[in-house]
Amino acid sequence: MSRRRIPCFDEPPTLSRRDFLQGSGALLGSCLLAPAGMAWAASPILALDFRGSIPSGVSYRRASPASLADGAQLRTLPPNTPRFPLRQGKPLGLLIEGAASNLIANAARPDRPGWSAGGGVIVAAGTDLAPDGSGGAYRIVRPEPKSGSQCEVTVSNAPSGDFAAASVWLRSTAGSGKWRLRLLDFTTYNNVSAVVEVGPEWRRYSLALNLQARDIGAKRFAVLWNEPIAAATAAPAIYALKPATPYLSWRTPLTLGSVLMWGAQYEVGNEASSFIATTGSAGQRAADEVTIPAAPLNASAGRLTIVLPNGGRRGGVILDAHGDGGGLRLAYSNSGWIVAQVGRVVLAGFGDVTADPVIRLEWSAAGVQLFTGATPESLTLQAAVKTNPLPLACGSLARLGMLADGQRPLGRVLAQLTLSGEVATVAQAVRPNFTPAPYRLVFGDDFDDPDLTRINENATGGRPGAPAWRSRYRHERRTAINQEKQIYMDPQFAGTARQPLRVQPFAIRDGILQIRAERADPVAVSPFVWNRAYTSGCITSELTHWQTYGYFEMRARLPRGKGFWPAFWLLPKRATWPPEVDVFEASGTRPYAIKHGVIEKPRSATTPGGMWIEQIIDISDGFHIYGMEWSRDNIVYFIDGKKSFEYGPHGIHEDMYLLANLALGSHDPNWIPDPDPTTPFPGMYEIDYIRAYQRGAS
């Protein structure tokens, strides 16, 4: 494997996939530990402690009021008042939040227009106080028992984004129980639901909807799914949240009590921020601005340690000091990987480490390395590169908690920041090996050989370490399946022309195979490929490798954008369909989802034939590892070493070959819509390697 293209990784260690999965969270991404004696310097260049106060030299500003929950009590704080959450009565550190909006009008007054109570009415809860100490708690009342009513609010002015988050405060007046919330797009019915445990203390519950490009309708947040819990009498029946199981009957005695609600909120983002009060219109909260002098960060050698007691946040920025201009930035990817930009060097870890409370970044002329872990004395190396990042140009101020534009907030508690000049020797990071121990490699391509002539019509020209691939499906290129809009090309394909069209959808750069989707030239190409509007590529091992059972793995980065449909899958050697095994399919309009699936006829499994796996990774923010283990009984799927889906028992017991392709458009616009002028061409399906393993000794 080429070391040029992935400076933060070297060859895989011997750690097996199952050992890796059984390890602690601190092992995620590496197995190389920092020495236990590695401690902070005695005289740090910069030492800031945010546990209970703003340190000297730090600037804190917030233009609007904000809220802070201490246990079940919500306190409203005036502008420019910092928030110090407590744990066991002691301040954890400074809470830093970004700009946010509560898009639900009348959030604290659900008896006002905009809310629906399923034919009933919403009334104040009397003497029961809301989390902010006001008398603003509410419940639903209906004059007669009726099953299936609900309390919900419609948000008509919801802007677009990758995620939408909704939240509400709930409290049970008698005991605890499991209840259900739901958020959906009313046009497409794309939705997410959550079963929550509601107890006798006020608690805020939230859920996030993974938005698709087609979700442009009004959003509905079903705050209460309800069943009557009063006896069938002439007295009004009180409706509470509908439990997941068992459903309450209207004959249930009144002594079971009720569930109270307060403070619903809807906003753009993958997590709900702290509550924003609204009175008749959408409320706003300005971003916190926390800055420190950036001059110390220009040091030629530095060890920066940051403590986040509650961990980090996907997509959040921990520190930014002119990161785009040769300075320093420390952040998380949308998949939760730790990412650092130091001068001319960018490096990223592997695996979601947002649960780790300690982050350490070290740099010198010898290179850059990045650690995370539970304590400063016990850290795991996540990434390292032996490249000189100097000089640094961090500017005059460094902002903590988000980028300077305030668009990617951390939304977490910062306890400590320490910078010293002490730097350890730059180590060598390793990528975990997820291959099951009993398996041996029988076929693979790391794409270190840049020769593209081995990808052709008849899969000729292969050699050890660089196998040949067929550049089309088993049927003719002009045959369209699933109403796809592309045609698969290679440079020798002529279509209806008298000579090859010389369209090359493949490239190998720094050990990465690129399959590129483009708009077809309307004069030089499209008329000769049956007027197809797009060209793309596929590779198959149909003529070079097939096997029954095994472990299959790909490391790849997938494209975002309307119309893109990358896949890695298996088909039978005999010319028939089904069966089909999809290691993954992805949609450019659903970058936070991966689909696994199996098609067989007759179907023998007792589990669903396929499933979209949501909100584990961002398919486009880095090279993720997709694995599939096919045994006699089950087919098990993995994303970055974590089990994501299992299918079985199955009836697929024959030789199958591998395919990787980038399609455009489909027969189902709700899943894979056709490309349009917004599609960011060229679409790039980047593959680091493809490998196939079988059980047994070599």
Per the annotation, the verdict on 476 as an active-site residue is no
Residue for token pair 């590496």: 30
Contacts of 499 by beta carbon, 8 Å cutoff, 6+ apart = none
CA 36 to CA 379: how far, in whole Å? 8
Q: Which residues pair with 611 in a beta bridge?
A: 596
Residues paired with residue 277 on neighbouring β-strands, in sequence order = none
CB 4 within 8 A of CB 511: yes
What is the SS3 assignment for 376? coil
What 284-287 contacts at long range (C-beta under 8 Å, 24+ apart), as own/partner pairs, is 284/64, 284/99, 284/100, 284/101, 284/102, 285/64, 285/65, 285/66, 285/97, 285/99, 285/100, 285/101, 286/62, 286/63, 286/64, 286/99, 287/62, 287/97, 287/98, 287/99, 287/402, 287/406, 287/409
Annotated active-site residue in 144, 580, 600, 646: 580
Query: Are residues 297 and 328 in contact, defined by beta-carbon separation less than 8 angstroms?
Result: yes
C-alpha to C-alpha distance for 563 and 569, rounded to whole angstroms: 19
d(CA 611, CA 582): 11
Strands 564-572, 534-536: pairing kind: unpaired
Within 10 A of 50 (CB to CB), how many other CB atoms are there? 25
- Is 585 assigned a catalytic role? yes
Q: Which long-range contacts (CB under 8 A, 24 or more apart) does 523-526 make?
A: 525/495, 525/501
Q: Is 584 exposed, middle or buried (0-12, 13-18, 19+ CB in 10 A)?
A: buried
Two tokens, residue 46:
């910069």
Question: Rounded to an integer, what distance in angstroms lies between the CA atom of residue 283 and that of residue 102?
Answer: 5
* Opening angle at CA 94, ends 89 and 95, nearest 5: 100
Residue 208: count of CB within 10 angstroms of its CB:
21
CA distances from 77 to 83, 97, 221, 324, 635 (A): 8, 13, 27, 34, 53
Which residues on neighbouring strands pair with residue 48, listed in sequence order? 417
Show Cβ contacts of residue 616 under 8 Å, excluding neighbours closer than 6 positions. Answer: 335, 592, 594, 639, 640, 642, 644
* Catalytic position from the list 484, 585, 629, 686: 585
Whether 223 contacts 152, CB under 8 Å = yes
Catalytic residues: 580, 585
